[in-house]
Amino acid sequence: MFLCSEVELCFKYWDSECVVYNVLSGDTYLFDSLSANLLDVLSQKSLTQSQLISTIVHFSSTNTICNAESFFVDWQKRFQKMELIEIED
């Protein structure tokens, strides 16, 4: 999984939220810090689903893989729909 090619992101974190700015499109987003952390990690390198789920466990108070997997499924659908991420074939 990786960021779409039309995406170049800048991040500004405040407490539990993050403003994300796409330099290429001019779009600005307000995300929870966990969602933004996942985008931030993907902006540095491509990751597999299991690596992203491990990242969720690391950055969140979610102690179980089950909760992290559920969060990941919702996150993936939302951010694909927003055309911010792509899945490798």
CA distance 24 to 15: 26
In the three-class reduction of DSSP (H, G, I as helix; E, B as strand; rest coil), residue 54 is classed as helix
pLDDT at 29 over 90: yes
Domain parsing of the chain, residue ranges: 8-84
Cβ of 84: how many Cβ atoms within 10 Å?
22
pLDDT in tens, 59-81: 887 666 778 899 999 999 999 99
Burial class (CB in 10 A: 0-12, 13-18, 19+), 47: middle
In the three-class reduction of DSSP (H, G, I as helix; E, B as strand; rest coil), residue 10 is classed as strand
CA distance 89 to 48: 11
